[in-house]
Amino acid sequence: MNAQLSEPMISSQRALSAQAMAFASVGNVAVGFDILGHSVAGAGDRAVVRRIDEPTVRIAAIHGSSHELPMDAARNTAGAALLSLRRALGLQHGFEVELHKGIALGSGMGGSAASCVAALVAANALLERPLPREALYSFALDGETVASGSRHGDNLGPMLLGGLVLATRDRLLRLPVPEAWHCALVHPHVVLETRRSRAVLADGFALSEVVAQHANLALVLTGCHRGDATLVREGLKDVLVEPRRAPLVPGFSRVKQAALDNAAMGASISGGGPSVFGWYERREDAERAASAMAAAFAEEGIASDTLVSPINGPAATLVDEEVE
């Protein structure tokens, strides 16, 4: 048996079906474009995965999405991840997947990544020797690439491991964060596709911008390692990407100001947007901020949902099928 198992074994060979939930996430976290993210409690995608005899991967159903999502496994984020898992392990059997979307696509909260991770965590539990979470990362990246056209793990990483995660091409590292620190995440009901929010980044970046962002990243990482909010407060500013993306998010500057006015360590766009997040030293501040941010969107005539979560948010988890 693998000593690093993070999954409970589903009892014996007879388990043919498992269900997992992967939670939302804040991507980029202002200073770590494509490499830094944290999970967020309170919303998630569920995947029910069944082991099937045919050597293939099938998407059986997708519930709860207002978008038309690909049912062709190779073009579906969850399907592509399971195909990659099958290939890498040389599995004889296949998988059938049913997805229950709880995170809106194009929200900047990792909607595609969550389906991918939930499906992998469920499928992994059906293996004779489930892999450690880190070992699922490369399959998840294969799935994410299908959805976003870019191989980045800042949503996948925190969903797999929980909390704040540094996700490079080859590796996931969970970073320490004080338990008391919370995030306010507000999702306005406007759609912004990841591909569109990437297009505004096509031009080059000046050295001065890059150096300023490096310094901010270093301050945030050091602040998290030391549990020092002063350092995070100094560094949690996106000078590279936010200025280019802010015009794509209606009402952004007003919402960001609302986040900052409530004692935020910093605030920016989550992932490709349009969701906006702020980081707080205390849950109460995050709760007040979430209301103020939603009110700011409302002033622009935009409805929104809010989430308040520890930055040490939950990892994806197996759930009882009875929940179904």
Other Cβ atoms within 10 Å of 266 Cβ, number: 23
- Is residue 16 part of the contact set for a copy of itself (CB under 8 A)? no
Distance between CA atoms of 290 and 78, rounded to whole angstroms?
Answer: 31
Q: How is residue 187 written in tokens? A: 């999702």
- If the CB atoms of residues 223 and 274 are measured against a copy of itself, the closer one turns out to be 223
Residues 6+ apart with CB under 8 A from 262: 184, 278, 280, 285, 288, 289, 292
Residue 114 counted as an annotated binding residue? yes
Q: 278, 172 in Cβ contact below 8 A?
A: no
Tokens 């999954």 belong to 7
**Closest CB 262 distance from a copy of itself, rounded Å:** 24
- The reply to whether 112 sits in an annotated binding site is yes
Encode 96-108 in three state secondary structure: EEEEECCCCCCCC
Considering only residues 254-313, where is the footprint of a copy of itself by CB under 8 A? none
Report the alpha-carbon distance of residue 245 to residue 231 in Å, rounded.
25
Give the residue, chosen from 234, 287, 300, 305, that forms a contact with a copy of itself under the rule CB under 8 A.
234
Residues in contact with a copy of itself, counted by CB under 8 A, come to a total of 35
Per-residue contact flags (x/-) with a copy of itself for residues 108 to 147, judged by CB under 8 A: ----------------------------------------
Which of 19, 20, 29, 33 lies at the binding interface for a copy of itself (CB under 8 A)?
A: 33
Tell which one of 9, 16, 218, 298 touches a copy of itself (CB under 8 A): 218
Tell me which of 68, 207, 301, 322 binds a copy of itself, using CB under 8 A: 207
Q: Which of 32, 143, 310, 313 binds a copy of itself (CB under 8 A)?
A: 32
Residue 61's beta-bridge partner residues? 98
Q: Nearer to a copy of itself by C-beta: 104 or 156? A: 156
Tokens read off for 238: 């996106």
SS (H, E, C) 15-66: CCEEEEEEEEEEECCCCCCCCEEEEEEEEEEEEEEEEECCCCEEEEEEECCC
Residue 128 or 170: the one with the smaller Cβ distance to a copy of itself is: 170
Which among 83-91, 187-195, 199-207, 286-294 is the span making contact with a copy of itself, rule CB under 8 A? 199-207
The single-letter DSSP state of residue 200 is: T
Binding-site residues: 104-114
Binding site for a copy of itself (CB under 8 A): 32-36, 152, 166, 168-171, 173, 175, 201-207, 210-211, 213-215, 217-219, 221-222, 225, 231, 234-235, 240
